[in-house]
Amino acid sequence: MSDIMAERAGDLPRSASANDLYRAVWRWHFYAGLFVLPFLVSLSITGGLYLFHNEIDAWVHSDVKRVQASAHDASVPPSRMVEAALAAYPGRAVKFTQPADATASAEITVRTAEGAKQAVYVDPQDGRVLGAMADRGSIMWTVRTLHSLKYFGPVARGVIEIAAGWSILLVATGLYLWWPRGQRGGVVTVRGTPQKRVFWRDLHAVSGLALGGFILFLAVTGMPWSQVWGGQVNQWANGSNFGYPSGVRVNIPMSDQKLTEGGPVSWSLEQAVVPTSAPPPAAEPIGLDKAVATFDAMGLASGYAVNIPTSRTGVYTGSVYPADLAQQRVVHLDQYSGEPLLDMRYADYGPLGRALEWGINVHLGQEFGLANKLLLLLVCAGNVMLAVSAGVMWWKRRPSRSMGVPPLPKDKAVFRGLIALLFVGGVLFPLVGASLLVMLLLDWSFSRLRTLRPA
């Protein structure tokens, strides 16, 4: 929805004050698009791929992730699978991930002597080692880290958070620019041919109208993963109860280890810490096989992971985060008695946690099955088209040897309302607010330099 300056005089606001407001909104829409659109393309491509991460990983890494389904249900015990993995790849087993279905392999995470982690895959039917790769080294983990810019450090992750906030500004200003002002075309129809700028203007406006709500939803539901805002909200929601939602009983000894150190967790448990076992005199740990049998008896959904204790006070942690939110669950077992120390379910999250987890689940394309994935895939494709149409429209409109920044309004007072809205947004999202302030100062400085430049 960038650069929606009308092709005809009839598209322009009629009064001078309305025209000034239009120019001010258009100018900030241009700035928002200049910053957001590259990220929108990157996020849409990587996000569209990640919607099908299970299917793509299973296909690309089929040699280690898939096995032939057996006619019977017999399988080797988890402890034997771990022994086979360690025999092929020496180190210390820290996690066992149960096969999600009859054609999936088991995954054993091994920490090597150098401290690195490897994911070793074992056929659960005969204990045969199929191969290994670096932990989180699959192609879809690569796509996921590209999507969040984790590859490029905390500064880049902060930029993603800023881009999400600016995308909200982009949609809000774009809706104002799209609003019909007596024009006969370009509202819900596309005029002209691809050779003409009006075609790209209308395509951008109409597709922006269709996609604006989805962009807002994806930006807002992506915010919980953000570095500053997401982290602060998570601590506010869950940080005062050992990272567990208020009301969950945690009157047991707790360690300093975070649950995230053992692998991916739900957003609501990013601050959660792991309880400790109380080693009695002359007691032996129950072992992985009994821990897995306990988790099975407790009804954890298939495909759950078991963090294996690596110290005398460690616990067996069973965790699963399937597409069905109701089956999200984390259970900590005392490694000596096998008794549950803490049993955490989706229903135990607070209202804010449940709402955010639902939004995240939809964002990931999981809440409504295949229909959810296909709809978001279309949205991702539409976002790329939106960015392309904005670029073509700008290129066709820009003056020679100029950035083509929309002109300033004649009456600068119209900026006051915009600045007030920007201030409100900055309070809600501090990192975004700081970037808006920088942009205001830069815009003012460049405008002053232009007015002081000799004719």
Q: Would you tell me how many other CB atoms lie within 10 Å of the CB of residue 247?
A: 9
Contacts of 272 (CB under 8 A, 6+ apart): 238, 242, 243, 244, 258, 259, 260, 265, 330, 344
**Dist CA 425 CA 435 (whole Å):** 11
What pLDDT sits at residue 119? 98
Nearest to 20 by CA among 318, 409, 363: 409
* DSSP SS3 for 109: strand
CA distances from residue 432 to 171, 173, 220, 429 in whole angstroms, order as listed: 15, 16, 13, 5
Residue 50: left if φ>0, alpha if ψ -120 to 50, beta else—which one?
alpha
Nearest to 440 by CA among 423, 454, 453, 427: 423
Give the distance from CA 64 to its chain's centroid. 27
Would you give per-residue pLDDT tens digits along the chain (455 residues)? 444 444 433 455 556 677 888 888 888 899 899 899 999 999 999 999 999 999 999 999 999 999 998 766 668 999 999 999 999 999 999 999 999 999 999 999 999 999 999 999 999 999 999 999 999 999 999 999 999 888 888 888 888 889 988 998 899 889 999 988 777 777 888 998 998 888 999 999 999 999 999 999 999 999 888 878 888 888 887 777 888 877 787 888 999 999 999 888 998 898 899 999 988 887 899 999 999 999 999 999 999 999 999 999 999 999 999 999 999 999 999 999 999 999 999 999 888 889 999 999 999 999 999 999 999 999 999 999 999 999 998 888 877 767 778 877 777 777 776 677 667 777 778 888 888 888 878 877 877 776 666 55
Domain ranges of the chain: 9-35+146-226+370-452, 62-136, 247-349
What pLDDT sits at residue 217? 96
Q: Would you tell me how many other CB atoms lie within 10 Å of the CB of residue 422?
A: 19
What pLDDT sits at residue 6? 43
Nearest to 236 by CA among 245, 225, 226: 245
Q: Which fold has domain 62-136?
A: Nuclear Transport Factor 2; Chain: A, (3.10.450)
User: Model's pTM, two decimal places?
Assistant: 0.88
- Helices vs. strands in the chain: H and E counts, helices first: 13, 10
